[in-house]
Structure formats: structure tokens, C-alpha cells
Structure 1
Amino acid sequence: MSKTVLITGASSGLGRQTAKFFHAKGWNVVATMRGPDRETELNQLDRTIVTRLDVQDPASIDSAVEAALDRFGALDVLINNAGYGAYGPLEATPIDSIRRQFEVNVLGLLATTRAVLPTFRTNRRGTIVNISSVGGRLAFPLGSLYHGTKFAVEGISEALQYELSAIGARVKVVEPGGMRTEFAGRSFELNNDATMSEYQPLAQSLFDLLGPMLEQGSTPEAIAEIVYAAAIDSSDRLCFEAGPDAVSMLAQRRATDDDAFYAGMKQQFGLA
């Protein structure tokens, strides 16, 4: 029998390509998104259902999990992909934006994970794949919110692996670097205030770095292959670095002591 995967944030980018990749591998796919009525491609695939799931709406999470079980009888993998990045000076960021960043990237991930655990526990199997980021292991300026959420995903996953082993399930973390997706347009929020002139050179330095990083990053198709590899991995391996830039950056971070790394970052962004 085919296995079944539920993917959040499947309307575009990595989520969409991951849905297509799993389908090509013969899986049943539950592609979830906030606006399924606008989907015109994934809903044409066999063994695939497209349904609404907004990670900020617990009822929609429960409905999506129920739809998966009703249609396919079981759920084998959850891929927590939905998320976005909020950047900018903390001083310029409205409290509502702060709340939303953590509600989507952290609380939404926890709520969706919690919703699938009863069936994983009953069946004594299942895998959670949390899409983190290289930004869950190191931080750039003006990213206190985004990096705060991705660092949280890393900690949640590290702790969760122990309790999931008690029910026969696993958790994996995928850490992409730059990706050539619509992230900058669809999933990127900038909070800035030009009157706070002190922050503006730093903001420009950040964009000068992030622009090429995204343009030269991995394709979502390439990262989807790593997501799939994580989902089917039966070892105790937790983290999967995704993309040559992620591998390079994280290797450099591990090889550098904190003081030297922070000093280098400050110099790179004109703060030294």
C-alpha cells in the first residue's frame, strides 16, 4: 500500500515541489494550504487531495488530518513547511507582527504536530519533518523574529525526538540555505521605519547579502529531494543540511568559536 504524506504550505515554493516529488514517488499526498480553492495543478493529480489548513486555525488543522485519514486510512509523514520570515529592527516592528511570526512558525508547527500524534501513537509509527533553515543555527542582523522562530524549531525538534521514540515515531529537521522560490515576495515581511536612520545602513547591508543568496540558492526541486530523504530515513539522524550554501555556512560556523564568528559577522555588516 502507498504511504501518505501531509504537507503544510503546499501552495508554492518548497511545499508545492515537495508535494509533486512525493507524488512522483508513488505516495498519497495531502497538499494543504490556506486557499485551496485557488489551486489548479495539484488537485489534478491522482492519489492527491488538496484541502484547507491554516496553521493559525486549529479547526482547519483537525479537518485536514481527518480528511487524510478518511481518504487514505493512515498518515505516515507530516511535513511542517508552512512559514514565513519577518525581518527588520525590533524597535520598528509592531507587536501584532511579532505575535504572528511566532504563531505561524512555532505555535502553528506545534499545533499541527500535536494533531497527528494520536494516529502515530496508535499505529506505532510516523515521521515529522520540520522545515527549519540554516537560520535556525546561525543568525543575521535584523532577523530577531525569524531566527528566533527557527532556533525554536530546532530546540523543539531536538527535544521531541526523545518522546517520539517512546511511540515508535521519529522527527527530522531540514535546514535549507538560500532557495530560488517566491519566498522574498510571498513569504517575506519587512518591518522598517526610515526615520530610524541608525538602522538603515544595516538594512541595506542585509539586503545586499540576502539578494544574491536567494538568487544563487538551490532550486526547490533539489531541496524537495532532501525533504524526501529525511522523511524515509530510518536512522536516528536528526538534522539534514540542505543545499551547498547551507553545508558550507554551517561547517564554517562549527569550525569558528563564538567570539571570532560574531566579530566576523559584525565586520561583514559594517558594525566593527
Structure 2
Amino acid sequence: MSAPSQSIPGKTVLITGCSSGFGEATARLFADRGWNVVATMRTPDTHRLPARENILVTRLDVLDPASIDAAIAAGITRFGAIDVLVNNAGFGLFGVFEATPRPKVMEQFAVNVFGVMDVTRALLPHFRQRQTGVVINVSSGAGIFTLPMISLYCASKFALEGFSEALSYELASVGVTVKIVEPGGVTSTRFGERSEAEAATATDLADYRPFVAAVQETFTGLRAARAGSTAQEVAETIFTAATDGTDQLRYVATQDIKPLVAARRETSEERYMALMRGQFMPR
């Protein structure tokens, strides 16, 4: 992947999942701050990004390796090089584990874990050749602590966190930095819409109904508490991770999850489990 003789100067970021939410906000922010942006998504015909010289909108489906290679090649051809990768594309399953069909379980990991791995692997030869690069993986508070009804989403994000941390040691040896950005449940994105749509495909198991109703009531209160968190806040954190020049691994992106992050990381196992069980276990 050699740089062409004619390219647009400046730093370049490739971002997955730019059709809405964190990806769209991050693409706009980087472009506004003078970066070249390779804004990728499964269906680029529906994008809402402005037509600008420093924004290339192109197709990338993390489940389609050919589209990954094509998007990377298009970005390098347009801008000369890629400096930062933001693995943002993902979705969440909502519902009790027992009621979730196995194909949906496989899809959750295919998108949130294996898709990230495939995009990263495809870009690493370019980073390694240049002896520089930053990989930013968008995780979640659900990659730090767990919540009922999203066990599969939590499992995928825990896997992403473990992969990212281990990968950071390997890539440091070739000049590449790995970062993890951990947002909370921002209500201003379409993430919740897809989660609700996915929940509709799950089997309704009557034995779980009282628990599900109680958990949904708790979640209603949690959503109200996090109403102030925005996709812009997450985009700012991603930009900081890309540009701060440090080897810091994890960045908590929204204020709403900080109490639970502190409970998980800074208290004893006994206190943490007592807190969570008090919230979610049947009374």
C-alpha cells in the first residue's frame, strides 16, 4: 500500500460505523479540526456527513473482508496514508440470554469482536511499514461492569477489552499505540433503537417476565440519570485519545458511568457485588 504522488496533506483517521451516533460525531469533529477523515459505513448512500475535500465516505462492512480492504485502499489513495484507526462499529443485544437465538449470539461477536479484529489486522501492515499508528477501540461501560439483559453485549465488550490490552503490548514493539474508549449509555444515538429491535426477535419466556419488568424499571431510572451524556462528549474523548501522544490505555468517555466504574475498579469484590445485587437481584 504505497502512497500516491498526489495526496491531501495532513493527518488521516479511518472510522467505522459513521452513519450515526459516535461514528458520525467523531467524523465531524476530526474533519472540523483539520484532519482527513475516511468515514466508513455499511450503507454510505444514507450518510449525513457534509461534502468536504477532507472527508471520504466509503463502504465498509466489518463482516465483509473485501470491503475492509477496499476502504483502506481508498483512504490511502485519497489521503496518502492513514494515521489513526477508530473501531467504532457495533451493536447491542438486549434480552435474557436463554431467550436469545444462537445465530444472534454469533452475530454479536462477529460484529463487536471479530469485525474489530479483521479491520485492525487489515490496517496493521500499513502501520507497521510506517512504524507509527494509533488503534482506538470503542468499548463501553459494559466492558467494565455488567448489567442484566445485556449479557451478550457485555461478553463482547469484555472480550474487546482483553484483546485490546493484550494487543497493546504486541504493537508497542512496532511503534503502534492501542487505546480503549469507554462510553456510557448515550441516549442521543440510534444504538438503543437497534437494541430494542433486536430484543423483539427474542423468545418470550414467561418465567423471566417479573424479573424483566423490574430490570426495565431500573433501567428507566438509569436512562434519566444519564440524559446529559452526548455523542459529542464521546467524540471529544476519542479525539483526545488520538492526539494526546501518551500510552494511556483506557479513557472513560462519559460522566454517567463513573460511579459504577469506580465501584468496579476501586472497591472490594464484596462491596461491588452487594451494590449490584441490591440493584438487580429479585427482592
Give the alignment's TM-score, normalised by structure 2: 0.91
Query: 1:135: which partner in 2?
Result: 142
Inter-partner Cα distance in structure 2 for 1:209 and 1:11:
30
CA distance in 1, matches of 2:240, 2:177: 13
CA displacement 1:180-224 (0-9 Å, x = unmatched): 212111355215433x22212222233223344345141101110
Indicate the larger mover: 11-20 or 214-223. 214-223
Alpha-carbon distance in 2 for matches of 1:254, 1:97: 30
SS at match of 2:37: strand
Residues paired across the two proteins, number: 270
Matched-pair contact (CA < 8 Å) for 1:77–1:129:
yes
Contact 1:175 1:246 in 2 (8 A): no
- Cα 1:36–1:43 change in 2 (3 A) is farther
Q: CA RMSD in A?
A: 1.5
3-state secondary structure, aligned to 1:86: coil
SS in 1 for 2:122: helix
Is contact 1:6–1:78 with CA below 8 Å preserved after alignment?
A: yes
> Which residue pairs with 1:58 in the alignment?
65
Aligned to 1:111: 118
Structure 1 residue 249: deviation in Å? 1.7
Match of 2:203 in 1: 193
How far the C-alpha of 1:148 sits from its partner, in A, is 0.3
Taking a change above 3 Å as real, the CA distance of residues 15 and 60 of structure 1, as seen in their structure-2 partners, is same
Any gaps of 5 or more consecutive residues in structure 2?
A: 1-8
Which residue of the partner structure matches residue 98 of structure 1? 105
Q: 2:86 aligns with which of 79, 87, 91?
A: 79
User: Which of these residues, 38, 46, 51, is aligned with residue 30 of structure 1?
Assistant: 38
Q: In percent, how many aligned pairs have the same letter?
A: 47
TM-score, L = length of structure 1 = 0.94
1:269 Cα deviation (Å)? 1.6
Distance 1:209 1:19, change over 3 A: farther
Distance 1:184 1:85, change over 3 A: same
Contact 2:84–2:136 (CA under 8 A) maintained in structure 1: yes
